[in-house]
Structure 1
Amino acid sequence: MVVSCILYTELTWYCYFSAVDMELVTIVDEQDNKYCYKRYQGYPFNVEVIGNVGSQLDKIAQLDVKEEDVLVCVFPKSGTHWLYNTVMMLRSGTLDYHGTPTMMELQDFNLIEEMPSPRTFGSHLRCRFLPEQMKNGKGKVITITRNPKDIVVSLYHMLKNMGDIGYQGTFEGFLKRFNSEESFVGGGTWFAWMKDLEDWKSQNLLSLSYHDFKQNTYANVVKLAKFLEVDHDEKFLRSISENIHFDKLKESHNKTSPASDRWKHISEDGRLPIYRKGQVGEWKNMFTVAQSEEFDHFYNESVKLMDLKIKTEFE
């Protein structure tokens, strides 16, 4: 393994640990904020991505997709578990809490290959890294989009509660990395993730809005049921709408979700700290006026530069 460190401007150290076309990058800035990620072919990935990244991406790309497969693909902290459990209730015909999805990039790929049909699994990857057969229309892909200001606040608090898995430092330092191409949470910036989503050409994708799901839960449950081609009466669909309220999901996760050996090194009991507040507009309690204005400027410039058609409602 080759190790080298280079000193850049602003007293930022970049340490590279090369291994099979992958680099483990560690950045410590002038405020002692520490940021770590895996880099593969120019893209940043969470340090928890299995192995040397390339091998896992190859397995994902080559997945033998089944027509009844459903992939919940969501940018981190945008409503992954909320959406996943809604989908699972609709597909199972029960109101049971189904916990955390098997994430293609974060867990042993055999878990997906050995899942009985109909399979429902998850990913935080950009669309460009998803299974080739899904890009060609096989199976179904569902996503949900959220205000990036709320995302970055939720991400910061989650990472603080999970030890050294990618970031240690201040909110200001994390915000700087979130809006850079070094942002491992989405394989680049949130805007790059959204651009990949907008470039998806297949008709097998359903994209929902976090804000709208909050305001019109039942209507979105009906929309999901139609997309999934499941037949349930209004009473059951309204029961799902009641059972996916944030507080109920959080309580179920803390009480019934089984501990996992996979996550024991970053969580106290093997349960990921995935539920915090789930509110719209929580960023107002965290951003300074200057940070908000700077973020808005970056947002507007990125949307224009990438020719994005984003219609997400923000508060």
Structure 2
Amino acid sequence: MAEQNEKPLLKLKPATYKGIAMFECEIDDIEKMETREDDIWVCSFPRSGTTLMQEITYLVQTLDFETARSVQLDSRFPQLEQKNDQFPYYKGVKYVEDMTSPRFIKCHLHHFMLPVQLQKGKGRIIYIVRNPKDIATSFYRLLRWGGHLKPEEFGAFVESFVNGTGLFCPWPRHVLEFWERRNDKNVLFLQYEHVVKDKAKCIRRVADFLGRTLTDGDVAKICDYCSVENMKNNPMCNMSYWREYTKVFDDDGGFINQGKAGAWKDLLTPEMAKKLEKLTDALKGSGLTLLDE
């Protein structure tokens, strides 16, 4: 514990690009980068079940459990817009450009900020959406874990999420940009609540999208590997390696929390929940209906 207290906090420099609040990144290089037809992108608003979908996607495509057990997810499936020399895997665009095909890429950017070639269909996108009430609680816990928020700032964080000034907001715009492209042949649109309710069905949908043929045994093995209990205890995807480089605060969970729908009920006040429901109201008329749990 004493050693952990001596670690520096993760330094992330805030920035605003095209009206979207995020952390400083290589946005110009991202928009201009070359994509590949066999790229596999997992895109989402932060804390929408991204880590789960990355691991499912990686295993559906490769069935390489040995590598999944021995190589960090951040190395196998890097986050494009994250570049931070304080950490070993956040190397930005150049690292992704040098990857061998098929590349697995994670990204939280709005659709209009993705590489232009990807926007036009060069590369495959798996997008996962989640109820904003669970996102708000999970995102707060992540920022709390990394030392970017204090418990007394939770209310202000929720307000910024609701009014669209928070990180990667506005959430409705992020979701609808991808939802409007759900019928594109290179896009698979998934809902977190459906994924955790029937993981096997999700795995088969991902396999169909990627042109992979899996046996029932393969599906069962991926389901087991990607259970929340296994992922929480898996150092290759639970981001426990962060402790080597930064101070973290484990008093309110870790990188992977409950891994279920409806966890917002443990943290949100009725007033907060009502405010967050305004975000789902913004989806009315789109045809997209989200579950609370």
Normalised-by-shorter TM-score class: 0.7 to 0.9
Q: More strand per residue: 1 or 2?
A: 1
Q: Which aligned pairs between 1:161-310 and structure 2 lie closer than 5 A? A: 161-164=145-148, 167-168=149-150, 169-184=152-167, 186=168, 188-200=169-181, 202-253=184-235, 259=241, 264-265=245-246, 267=248, 273-296=254-277, 298-299=278-279, 301-304=281-284, 307-310=285-288
Q: More helix per residue: 1 or 2?
A: 2
Closer, same or farther: CA 182–258 of 1 in aligned 2, 3 Å: closer
Distance in 2 of aligned mates of 1:68 and 1:295: 37
When the two structures are superposed, what TM-score results if normalisation uses the length of structure 1?
0.76
**How far 1:255 moved relative to its partner?**
8.7
Closer, same or farther: CA 170–258 of 1 in aligned 2, 3 Å: closer
Distance in 1 of aligned mates of 2:80 and 2:15: 16
Letter in 2 for 1:275: I
Letter in 1 for 2:73: G
For structure 1, which segment, 73-82 or 227-236, has the greater mean C-alpha deviation from structure 2 after superposition? 227-236
Runs of 4 or more, structure 1, over 3 Å off, are: 254-261, 265-268
**How far 1:258 moved relative to its partner?**
7.8
Larger Rg: 1
**How far 1:128 moved relative to its partner?**
0.8
Distance in 1 of aligned mates of 2:52 and 2:40: 15
**How far 1:267 moved relative to its partner?**
4.3
Tell me if structure 1 keeps the 8 A contact 2:162–2:275: no
Letter in 2 for 1:99: L
Report SS of the residue matched to 1:109: helix
Distance in 2 of aligned mates of 1:196 and 1:93: 31
Match of residue 76 from structure 1: 46
Report SS of the residue matched to 1:252: coil
Letter in 2 for 1:142: I
Closer, same or farther: CA 237–79 of 1 in aligned 2, 3 Å: same
Report SS of the residue matched to 1:64: coil
- The unaligned stretches of length 5 or more in structure 1 are 1-35, 51-55
Residue 114 of structure 1 pairs with residue 98 of structure 2: yes
Higher relative contact order (CA 8 A, sep 6+): 2
**How far 1:243 moved relative to its partner?**
1.1
Q: Which aligned pairs between 1:15-34 and structure 2 lie closer than 5 A? A: none
Match of residue 89 from structure 2: none
Distance in 1 of aligned mates of 2:275 and 2:45: 22
Tell me if structure 2 keeps the 8 A contact 1:73–1:141: yes
**How far 1:156 moved relative to its partner?**
0.7
Match of residue 151 from structure 1: 135
Report SS of the residue matched to 2:188: strand
Match of residue 39 from structure 1: 16
Report SS of the residue matched to 2:241: coil
What is the number of residues matched between the two proteins? 263
Letter in 1 for 2:162: N
- Aligned residues: CA RMSD: 2.6
Residue 88 of structure 1 pairs with residue 88 of structure 2: no
Match of residue 103 from structure 1: 79
When the two structures are superposed, what TM-score results if normalisation uses the length of structure 2?
0.81
Distance in 1 of aligned mates of 2:286 and 2:225: 34
| 1:41-60 deviation digits (Å, cap 9, x = unpaired) | 32211x3x33xxxxx12211
Tell me if structure 2 keeps the 8 A contact 1:162–1:273: no
**How far 1:260 moved relative to its partner?**
6.2
